[in-house]
Each structure stands twice: as C-alpha cells, then as structure tokens.
C-alpha cells in the first residue's frame, strides 16, 4: 500500500505561512505540532498528517485570513 506524501516544499510553505499569519510565537507552536506528529522538518509529510495539521492551524489563525490560508494549503 502506497502512502501519499506532501513534498517538503509544501510542508515548509505551510510552516512559513503560519508564522507569517500568527507572528513569532508561531515558530514555537509549529515546532510543538511537528514534534507531536513525529515530523522532521525538511522531509516529505504524509498527506493525512498534513491535512490534520492544516486543520489544527486553521483554528489558530484569525478568521479574516483563514480563507487565504486555505487557498494556499488545502
């Protein structure tokens, strides 16, 4: 069975956009999220983990920019 993965470029873009939207504390939050899913930055991420992470991040992002974030990452 093949697991679908998200290229590391997309995972890095998610990280960078989240930090841009929430500010410097986003660095720590992303590190914690990555740690919780056993993700190593710079590696591809499985699609299920990526989708779960996007949904968690959307909860932290202000309502005014959620649609922009979704358009980039979903």
- What is the residue-wise DSSP string for 10-55? HHHHHHHHHHHHH-THHHHHHHHHHHHTT--TTS-EEHHHHHHHHH
Distance (Å, whole) CA 70 – CA 74? 5
Tokens of 58: 């959307």
Q: Which residues of 31-50 are buried (b: 16+ CB within 10 A; e: fewer)?
A: eebbeeeebeeeebbeeebb
* 28-47 confidence digits (pLDDT tens): 999 999 999 898 888 888 89
Residue 73: which pLDDT band, with cuts at 50, 70 and 90? confident
């Amino acid at each position: 069975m093949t697991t679908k993965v998200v290229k590391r470029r997309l995972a890095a873009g998610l990280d960078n956009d989240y930090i841009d939207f929430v500010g410097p504390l986003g660095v720590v939050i992303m590190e914690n999220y990555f740690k919780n899913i056993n993700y190593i930055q710079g590696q591809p991420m499985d699609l299920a983990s990526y989708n779960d992470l996007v949904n968690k991040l959307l909860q932290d992002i202000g309502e005014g920019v959620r649609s922009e974030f979704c358009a980039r990452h979903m």
